[in-house]
Structure 1
Amino acid sequence: MAAHRKSKQSPLGGSAVRTAATLALASAATATLFEGSGHADPRPTTAQVKAEVDRLYEEAEVATERYNGAKEKADQARTAFDRLRDEAARRTERLNTAREGLGAMAAAQYRSGGLDPAVQLALTSDPDQYLERAALAEKAGERQAAAVTSVRRELAAIRQLRGESAGKLTALRGHETELRRQKAAVVGKLAEARRLLDRLTDEERARYEAAVAARNGSGTSTTRADNTNGSAGSTTRSSAAAGTTGGSSATARADRSSGAGRASVNAPNSRAAAAISFARAQLGKPYVWGATGPSAYDCSGLTQAAWRAAGVTLPRTTYTQINAGQRVSRSQLAPGDLVFFYSGISHVGLYIGGGQMIHAPRPGAPVRVAPIDEMPFAGATRIG
């Protein structure tokens, strides 16, 4: 018979096993809880939020200048395309007129029978009259040849214009694609900055505002990234949409009324004085990306408008404006010079002397007087 062995008993009873399992599960849950909290991203400090928002604003301004450049090129391509299209229409009208003339000549020849000249001379009863008509026919033939030449010339010109128009249309579509891409980049950066700021508590927001005001050397200022739907050429913007508040508006009004930050050195010429005068009149107006006035500006839109008021045409973007005049060093700055910032030449202001400039800073910060030391200096240009 097979041997029967007693099954091995667990040293723990049933209730003990259940108790141990419960403790193990509790221990595991507690460990998971602490582990999870230990790996959770800590809430960013106000200083960290400010640094990140500043970075997003800078990147948005880079994208804004690229948007401005793409828009300028798109506008130029559209103007060229329209000009070529209008010229092609005029040429086509001339071609149709020449064709009608040739058709009339062909009809007249058909009615005359188109007989050989020698046969016509033999059959005529009045040779003198025939010879006179032959001379007229020769002149008509010369006119017909000229008409044919004109038709051929117009056809060739129209083919060339259509080819050029096709090239301009392709370029226009490319610039419009770039325009949409840069607009999306600007909107995305500003929206991200707004989300960061919206996460701040009231106390944190107050500290943030104080830090911004201290950097700008002004009183209370509320900075919001609300211009996410800003567009080129905007002329109407409420204070809330622009992100301005009574404090920042009051500071801007004080700049206008008291002459805060006025140049300690007179402008070197009447044009520079006119540009500075125009810029001062814009103090307090909101920053809107892509805007060139008269109710809102971005940084290069403001400097372009200021020098336009002085009778000088500047290109649209920071990275083209820096090459619009004579480069000068920081130690040689004079009122009216354009001052540029950041390694990518993404921001510009109008120097007014005494280490101060007038500029359109960023969303939520209106056109204001500010020290040129508040941003990393990249270069300066003197407009002739």
Structure 2
Amino acid sequence: MASHRRPVSSGLDRGTRVTVLSAAAAAATAAAAMSGAPASAAPEEPADSARARVDRLFEEAEQATERFNKAGERAGRLRAEVRQVQEAVARGQQRINTMRGVLGSYAGAQYRAGGVDPSVELMLSEDPDGYLEKASALDRLTSRQADRLDELREAQRKLAQQRAEGSRKLAELERLRSDVARHKRSVTAKLAAARRLLNEMPSEERAAFERANRSSGRAGALPEISGGGAPSGRAAAAVMAARAAVGRPYVWGATGPSGFDCSGLMVWSYRQAGVALPRTSQAQRHAGHQVPLSEARPGDLITYRSDASHVGMYVGNGQVVHAPYPGAPVRYDPVGMMPVSGVTRV
């Protein structure tokens, strides 16, 4: 984690700094003597502050993970669109080449037929009727050539549009690749900082952090949740899949089956039921119709925080299954572990 200590101002020379620091030390000593505290004692950071920093880092990492997933999902769609445009451009170019060949044949036929002035050729012809038929056919050929020429121009215009669209999509794809890499760096840095803070905590404080994340004390403010089973067969199948994933590790950006992030677990669980969910928790919040928390039933998606940056699956008895954060496996937790932002029935 980068240091946040401020450098000493270059506007003070060494002597001035020593004087200022000595005065500050003397003042601190006097204050300590008045209060009865030892002058050398430095204030310790409260354990609650360390836990709050870890919580904040995990929350920020989860938000960055959602941005990473969203950018990756968009990049995947763009790659498919770019392939389609490239295939359309290739087909369009092949069609233009064929049309040019046909027009070349028409031009050759005109050249061969139009070597002599038509009135002179008519007078010299031994078969005027045959000549007139030939001239009529040539007129039809000229008309068809004009139509083909119009088609060629339209095909060229369309091809130019497709190429421009392909260039635009490729440029957007490159931007998204940069976004994905940036979000990945952000997630990695925040998770590393959170893990360092956790590792520095004494075992008792770390256990307290875990207990705090399992039971936030908000459950008392939640409405009574009605009982009942899953509202559909696919919801029941998704619940079975989510339960089967309990114990597997949190892996950010993963959709299983060996590891999951929060929204990835929902994607995988419903995929086992034959249902395709969007990749991010924000999008999953709108993947069905909203129901009150008091009417939640197994299989419903519970999104958390005001930005819906976390999601779990309600499995009944006031519990959700979710992938909490790195280092904590997929597990059951109280539905009120965080502020609920929405309940979605798929």
Give TM-score, length-normalised by structure 1: 0.73
Q: 1:214 aligns with which of 211, 214, 220?
A: 211
> Are residues 295 and 195 of structure 1, via their aligned partners in 2, closer, same or farther at CA, if it must alter by over 3 Å?
same
1:124 aligns with: 125
1:81 aligns with: 82
1:241 aligns with: none
Question: 1:42 & 1:108 partners in 2: Cα distance?
Answer: 98
Percentage of matched positions with identical amino acids: 46
**In the TM superposition, what are the counterparts of 1:38-117 in structure 2 within 5 Å?**
42-117=43-118
Question: 1:115 & 1:136 partners in 2: Cα distance?
Answer: 17
2:135 aligns with: 134
Deviates more, 1:285-294 or 1:209-218: 209-218
How far does residue 325 in structure 1 lie from its aligned partner after superposition?
Answer: 1.5
1:309 aligns with: 272
How far does residue 93 in structure 1 lie from its aligned partner after superposition?
Answer: 0.9
Q: Which runs of 5+ in 1 are unaligned?
A: 1-24, 219-262
Contact 2:63 2:309 in 1 (8 A): yes
What whole-Å deviation, never above 9, does each CA across 1:327-360 have from its counterpart, x for those lacking one?
1111111111100111221100010111011111
What whole-Å deviation, never above 9, does each CA across 1:162-187 have from its counterpart, x for those lacking one?
22223322322332232222222111
Contact 2:110 2:138 in 1 (8 A): no
Question: 1:42 & 1:85 partners in 2: Cα distance?
Answer: 64
SS at match of 1:145: helix
1:266 aligns with: 229
CA RMSD of aligned residues (A): 2.8
Structure 2 counterpart of 1:211, one-letter code: A
Question: 1:141 & 1:186 partners in 2: Cα distance?
Answer: 67
Structure 2 counterpart of 1:291, one-letter code: A
Question: 1:347 & 1:194 partners in 2: Cα distance?
Answer: 19
Contact 1:287 1:366 in 2 (8 A): yes
How far does residue 291 in structure 1 lie from its aligned partner after superposition?
Answer: 1.0
1:283 aligns with: 246
What whole-Å deviation, never above 9, does each CA across 1:140-193 have from its counterpart, x for those lacking one?
223322321221111011111122223322322332232222222111111211
How far does residue 268 in structure 1 lie from its aligned partner after superposition?
Answer: 1.8
Question: 2:282 & 2:23 partners in 1: Cα distance?
Answer: 58
How far does residue 317 in structure 1 lie from its aligned partner after superposition?
Answer: 1.0
2:340 aligns with: 377
> Are residues 179 and 209 of structure 1, via their aligned partners in 2, closer, same or farther at CA, if it must alter by over 3 Å?
same
SS at match of 1:375: coil
Contact 1:105 1:144 in 2 (8 A): yes
SS at match of 2:336: helix
Contact 1:61 1:186 in 2 (8 A): yes
2:292 aligns with: 329
Structure 2 counterpart of 1:328, one-letter code: V
Equivalenced residue count is 309
What whole-Å deviation, never above 9, does each CA across 1:286-328 have from its counterpart, x for those lacking one?
1111111222111111112222222222211111111221111
> Are residues 216 and 30 of structure 1, via their aligned partners in 2, closer, same or farther at CA, if it must alter by over 3 Å?
closer
SS at match of 1:373: coil
Deviates more, 1:354-363 or 1:79-88: 79-88
Question: 2:230 & 2:313 partners in 1: Cα distance?
Answer: 12
Q: Which runs of 5+ in 2 are unaligned?
A: 1-18, 30-37, 216-225
Structure 1 counterpart of 2:310, one-letter code: H
> Are residues 58 and 150 of structure 1, via their aligned partners in 2, closer, same or farther at CA, if it must alter by over 3 Å?
same
Is 2:336 the counterpart of 1:364?
no
Deviates more, 1:142-151 or 1:288-297: 142-151
> Are residues 40 and 348 of structure 1, via their aligned partners in 2, closer, same or farther at CA, if it must alter by over 3 Å?
farther
**In the TM superposition, what are the counterparts of 1:13-52 in structure 2 within 5 Å?**
31=25, 42-52=43-53
Contact 1:53 1:193 in 2 (8 A): yes
Structure of higher CA gyration radius: 1
SS at match of 1:177: helix
Is 2:145 the counterpart of 1:182?
no
Contact 1:56 1:190 in 2 (8 A): yes
Question: 1:126 & 1:100 partners in 2: Cα distance?
Answer: 32
What whole-Å deviation, never above 9, does each CA across 1:102-127 have from its counterpart, x for those lacking one?
12222233334443332321221111
Question: 1:41 & 1:102 partners in 2: Cα distance?
Answer: 90
**In the TM superposition, what are the counterparts of 1:225-264 in structure 2 within 5 Å?**
none
Contact 1:46 1:207 in 2 (8 A): no
Is 2:262 the counterpart of 1:299?
yes
1:163 aligns with: 164
> Are residues 279 and 193 of structure 1, via their aligned partners in 2, closer, same or farther at CA, if it must alter by over 3 Å?
same
